[in-house]
Chains A and B, each alone.
Chain A
Amino acid sequence: MMSAVVRAEGLTKRYNGRVHALAGVDLTVARGEWLGVMGPSGSGKTTLLNLIGCLDRPSAGRLLIAGDDVTTLSQAELVRFRRNHIGLIFQQFHLIPYLTALENVMLAQYFHSLADEAEARVALERVGLGERLHHLPAQLSGGEQQRVCIARALINQPSLILADEPTGNLDQANEERVMDLLRELHAAGHALIVVTHDPAIGDLADRLIYLDHGRVVREQGLRPLAGGALVR
């Protein structure tokens, strides 16, 4: 499958040689596909995102992202790979407290290549924060902080955006706002992997997998892919 953004075979992660956080996961995510990941606490969802996001290395198995086998990359190559291909959205937002909304977005550009203020401004306008560019995170609501985080995730045009409980810390209104943005990202052609406990968000995905004890225990195709190919 040439259009796979993620292709995992027997993906396994052990901590301290004993705990099987992931135990042989086979997974394919197509280009532009939205994959939802659900499962009980401790089932390995975050571990899976860490591996796919090249933040951690698998203990065993193969992992290809955008066609490259990332298990063979050096540490420095992983860093470079991450900044070119992956956008991250966090439950706790993780904005740098002493930088303004604009600067937080520019930071991702700076680490990627060159900071471009105009481009960062457009990204923030796109998430509806055109008026809050020069506010510090502490001056923004949780929902606004999450939108800054989303703007930062998409600023370098990653082929794959990973979100771990993106609405976990938000109220209903902000949750809907973030869901709209995720939908827009999806429509713009980014592949998304969204970890969630919230069935309403899970239902937005093209396809949903359930993890338990580090294994995929159920998989559910919800709608056909944009290209027309039906998954399962």
Chain B
Amino acid sequence: MLWRMLRGSWRHRRVRLGVATLSMLLGAAMTSALINLSFDVGSQTGRELRAYGANILLLPRGASLTPGGTREGRGIRERDLAALDGIPAVVGYAPSLYLVADVQGRPLAAGGVVFERLQAMSAWWRVTGSWPAAPDEALLGVSAARSLGLAPGDRIAIGYHDAKRELVVAGLVETGGAEDNQVLVPLPVAQALAGQPGQVGLVQVSALVAGQSLVEVAGAIEARLPDIQARPLRQFAQAEESVVAKVRLLLALVAAVVLGVAALAVGSTMFTAVVERRAEIGLMKALGAAERRVAALFLADGIGVGAIGGLGGYAAGLGVAALIGQQVFHATLQPNPLGLPVTLAVATGVALAASIWPVRQALAIDPAVILRGE
């Protein structure tokens, strides 16, 4: 019988209930998007930021970093770096050995690098020509190329003390950073020039931070490589954590506001219903309806609005989350298994909470109104 009554009353008031359900659906959609995104947004953002370069720097223990970011040093053995492969959070690393060389007769910072490794971590570098592939090819910074008057395909002479090598410029690189005024050469070339075979001065590490902090990853690296100090790059550590936190906070705020609005919409719909159905409620009481039956009728409205809005909102929110994942983080979304139950519970809970006051009003209606007429 309760079902028959609900069916009748819902059909009767479908427009109003539809509006309330729709606003609940919006609230639920935000909730669902929040849950599905925040589950994955940590690793999403970590992976995304990795494309912007290294977030940990490895230096020989006791060494310090000179302001230009270049350093002539010794102390890290290239073969020790294999240990980095055993740390799951480390997704890439690029060793380098810097020296101030004599390039075409001028002093210029020359960095010995492993090009494949560097390229994987430097997605935003703009290279005209191509990345060096052969052991005698170099990558020249755009500013250096301009002042030296060199273009891709030209030969370039690099000397250091008494050693000297001749390479081919494979491409010009523009990063907006120090590299624009450097020449990058294959690591073995730099090692040979410096007379430090098998040695590197500096390693850029790209670590994926999902669930653990950059400092923890740095600690793990130091535990495996005792002669090395691992320095998290502050701006990256903060950027990653704050991007995730901000996206979450934003979503949570929007979800809270939209849910609040939805609660108001449901509450006012219910309240209007109580006012309009005054005679009906009075009649039910006059017919001997127990309070819980009257309450059940109105709470069922709330549950119905919450459940339908919650279901629809879950689906819509999943769509929104997938879209944000695509557009903002360039990643496909794994739906959070908690999404459906939590969204349903939140929507139904909010709708029920919004119904409490109207239901109390309904219960307070005096059955004597029914005989007096209105």
Assess whether B288 is in contact with A50, with CB atoms less than 8 Å apart: no
Which residue on chain B has the smallest CB distance to residue A80?
B288
- From B2, B11, B290, B371, give the contact of A76 (CB < 8 A): B290
User: A93-122 interface mask toward B, CB cutoff 8 Å, 1 = contact, 0 = none?
Assistant: 010111100010011111110010000000
The residues of A that contact B291 with a CB separation of less than 8 Å are: 76, 79
Assess whether B288 is in contact with A79, with CB atoms less than 8 Å apart: yes
The residues of A that contact B373 with a CB separation of less than 8 Å are: 91-92
User: Please, how many residues of chain A have a CB less than 8 angstroms from a CB on the other chain?
Assistant: 33
Interface-side segment among B233-241, B277-285, B318-326, B338-346: B277-285
CA distance A80 to B293 in the complex (A): 13
**Is A39 an interface residue, CB under 8 A from the partner?**
no
**Is B9 an interface residue, CB under 8 A from the partner?**
yes
Output the residue of A83, A84, A109 with the most chain B CB within 10 A.
A83
| Residues of A22-54 whose CB lies within 8 A of B | 46, 49-50, 53
Output the residue of A79, A80, A82, A84 with the most chain B CB within 10 A.
A79
CA distance A74 to B4 in the complex (A): 30
Give min CB distance, A166 to chain B, whole Å: 12
**Is A88 an interface residue, CB under 8 A from the partner?**
yes
Give min CB distance, A86 to chain B, whole Å: 8
Which residue on chain A has the smallest CB distance to residue B9?
A98
Assess whether B367 is in contact with A55, with CB atoms less than 8 Å apart: yes
Output the residue of B280, B367, B372 with the most chain A CB within 10 A.
B367
Contact-residue bracket for chain B: 20 to 34
Give min CB distance, A198 to chain B, whole Å: 17
- From B4, B286, B288, B372, give the contact of A112 (CB < 8 A): B288
**Is B249 an interface residue, CB under 8 A from the partner?**
no
**Is A125 an interface residue, CB under 8 A from the partner?**
no
User: A138-165 interface mask toward B, CB cutoff 8 Å, 1 = contact, 0 = none?
Assistant: 0000000000000010000000000010
| Residues of B252-282 whose CB lies within 8 A of A | 279-280
Asked whether A96 and B288 contact (CB < 8 A) given A55-B368, A107-B1, the answer is no
Assess whether A55 is in contact with B371, with CB atoms less than 8 Å apart: yes
Give min CB distance, A215 to chain B, whole Å: 20
**Is A90 an interface residue, CB under 8 A from the partner?**
yes
**Is A56 an interface residue, CB under 8 A from the partner?**
yes
Which residue on chain A has the smallest CB distance to residue B369?
A55
17 contacts between A and B (CB under 8 A): A49-B371, A50-B368, A55-B366, A56-B366, A76-B290, A80-B290, A83-B287, A86-B288, A90-B370, A99-B5, A103-B5, A106-B4, A107-B284, A108-B287, A110-B1, A111-B287, A112-B288
| A55-B371, A79-B290, A96-B280 given; 18 more Cβ-contact pairs under 8 Å | A46-B371, A46-B372, A49-B371, A50-B368, A53-B286, A55-B366, A79-B289, A84-B288, A91-B373, A92-B373, A94-B283, A96-B5, A98-B8, A103-B1, A103-B4, A110-B2, A110-B293, A111-B289
Task: Spell out A's residues near B (CB within 8 Å).
Answer: 46, 49-50, 53, 55-56, 76, 79-80, 82-84, 86, 88, 90-92, 94, 96-99, 103, 106-112, 115, 152, 164
